[in-house]
Structure 1
Amino acid sequence: MTGMAQRIATVALIVTDYDEAIAFYRDGLGFTLTSNTPLGDGKRWVTVAPPGSTTRLLLAKAADDAQSAAVGMQGAGRVFLFLETDDFDRDHAAFRARGVNFLEEPRREAYGTVAVFEDLYGNRWDLIQPRPDAASAEGKSR
């Protein structure tokens, strides 16, 4: 399939409340609120994105018991999302100052510097600065 270009544009993340999720991602992680559009019946199209990223998170409010049960468990207890940075120390310090909960101290691995943190619902993320000479963090999850 030559000549074909694709990318993941948006990943849905189930949340319990739009506004508390916006506050965490905007104020805690420094993401940009890229859309917040009412859809009727209390639903909204809410997306956030890290600075400089074209990939967005859709903050999707749980609509029933099954979706509510999945909040915070979309990765089944494993690292679910990987946030790459160009300056680990800067972002790690800023996130900690804003109250982001890290589950470990930073580690230096063959592929880069990494530490696991939780979002406000308990989903696990890697904050990672890849080594310039290493492949991306693909396949490095626990």
Structure 2
Amino acid sequence: MRVKVISVPVRDQEKALQFYTQKLGFVKKFDVPLGEGNRWLTVVSKEEPEGTEILLEPSPNHLQEAKTYQQALFDKGIPYTQFNVDNTQQEYERLVKLGVEFSVKPTEMGTVKIAVFNDTCGNNIQIVEML
């Protein structure tokens, strides 16, 4: 087995696309209309264009439990997922200059350095550097 796609629930796919490409630096891979205003919308790392895709999946408006779960994670400051970086401090400084809001500044925790930011689409995302 291999991981090809992970999904991140987003409240607004277009807003998520702008944030994940313009702020985080991912590139759009697929954008396929699915009906009812939803899209199969994926982004990938510029450094690994054939790597794992992030599906910017629309939060289901008809599934309250999913909305409740996403909001509970966000409210408690729990990251929905994490992305690896080479240097947490440098990435933090780059993103802050772009207006990204962090709830956890770069912090060493044993063998990693982490930081957590708001993706503006309902999620806390953690970046992590292996030390």
Q: Normalising by the residue count of structure 2, what TM-score does the alignment of the two structures yield?
A: 0.81
Task: Give SS of 1:26's match.
Answer: helix
| Aligned residue-pair number | 126
* Equivalent in the alignment of 1:73: 71
* Equivalent in the alignment of 2:12: 17
**Structure 2 unaligned residues grouped into runs of 5+:** none
* Structure whose residues are more often strand by fraction: 2
Q: Distance in 1 between matches of 2:69 and 2:55?
A: 13
Render the CA deviation track for 1:74-123: whole Å, top value 9, x for unaligned.
Answer: 84642221111112232111111111111122112221211111211341
Task: Give SS of 1:96's match.
Answer: helix
**Structure 1 unaligned residues grouped into runs of 5+:** 1-5, 132-142
* Equivalent in the alignment of 1:3: none
Q: 1:71 to 1:38 in 2, by over 3 A?
A: farther
Render the CA deviation track for 1:14-60: whole Å, top value 9, x for unaligned.
Answer: 22222111001111111111111223342311001233241111112
* Equivalent in the alignment of 1:97: 97
Q: What aligned pairs does 1:55-74 form with structure 2 within 5 A after superposition?
A: 55-66=52-63, 69-70=67-68, 72-73=70-71
Deviation above 3 Å: which 4+ runs of structure 1?
A: 70-77
When the two chains are superposed, the root-mean-square deviation of aligned CA atoms in Å is 2.3
* Equivalent in the alignment of 1:39: 34
* Higher Rg of the two aligned structures: 1
Identity rate, percent: 25
